[in-house]
Structure 1
Amino acid sequence: MGLIRRLRITQRAMERAMLGASLRDQIRNEEIRRRTRVNDKAQRVAKLKWKWAGHIARRTDGRWGSKVLEWRPRIGKRSVGRPPTRWTDDIKRVAGSRWKQAAQDRGFWKSLQKTYVQQWTSIS
């Protein structure tokens, strides 16, 4: 089960608890969200990740944040199967392989944010 799905399930459970409603009450999620007026936390997490990636890409002081993104460990044997998804893989899907150069233009980077948030939160 993916991180986004677990986050949404937990948020819905917390919202139901705020209202004192159980699953047997059969109240739709949209109605619960309307009553509690709580924002979708999966969208908030995606937005913060996008902003942080842009911040790290624009840094020029040589701190370890950007170095960690470029680091490729080559110790031992590779495991069988598909390699695990890296932190930057979904950013590259939206901004391209040259996402660090794209992040230098703040206006362009901000225009891609909505696309990224929609794509990232549509994954279940």
Structure 2
Amino acid sequence: MTYGSETWSLTMGLIRRLRVTQRAMERAMLGVSLRDQIRNEEIRRRTRVTDIAQRVAKLKWQWAGHIARRTDGRWGLKVLEWRPRTGKRSVGRPQTRWTDDIRRVAGSRWRQAAQDRALWNSLQKTYVQQWTSIG
């Protein structure tokens, strides 16, 4: 379920859909129906599976640090800095970019912060917490 999740732009809608799918999978593993009315906390206690939001956020944070520290000139960092030169912008609120939630925690100079692994790892807990506290 988390294959390639490092490259997703995390949104509350996406996290909600992942959690619903995870709960459905856990219910299927235990052979429990929704009609049995067993609480999600009880199902999570029985399966002992990590919350998907926590896992996805942690993977993305680690990947962001890896990309920021990379110095071999591969495309990863170039794609992050790329700005398209298309004519008109679409109407409405801009879509969430991959770096928006990282910048919210680490600041606009997040790539410099990622160079210091101790600082980056300390910020990881804050980043993961923002996604696990949702719903």
Specify which of 64, 78, 102 is matched with residue 91 of structure 1: 102
SS in 2 for 1:74: coil
Q: Does 1:108 align with 2:129?
A: no
Counterpart position of 2:5: none
Q: How does 1:40-79 map to 2 (within 5 A)?
A: 40-79=51-90
Counterpart position of 2:28: 17
Identity of aligned residues (%): 89
Q: Distance in 2 between matches of 1:9 and 1:52?
A: 25
Shift of 1:121: 3.1
What per-residue deviation string (whole Å, max 9, x for no partner) do you get for residues 32-52 of structure 1?
011111111221110000000
Q: Does 1:6 align with 2:17?
A: yes
Q: Distance in 1 between matches of 2:74 and 2:30?
A: 46
Counterpart position of 2:7: none
Q: TM-score, normalised by structure 2?
A: 0.88
List gaps (5 residues or longer) in structure 2. Answer: 1-11
Shift of 1:79: 0.6
Instruction: Give the length in aligned residue pairs.
Output: 124
Contact 1:4 1:121 in 2 (8 A): no
Q: TM-score, normalised by structure 1?
A: 0.95
- The letter for the 2-side match of 1:9 is V
Deviation beyond 6 Å, 4+ runs, structure 1: none
Q: Distance in 1 between matches of 2:66 and 2:133?
A: 24
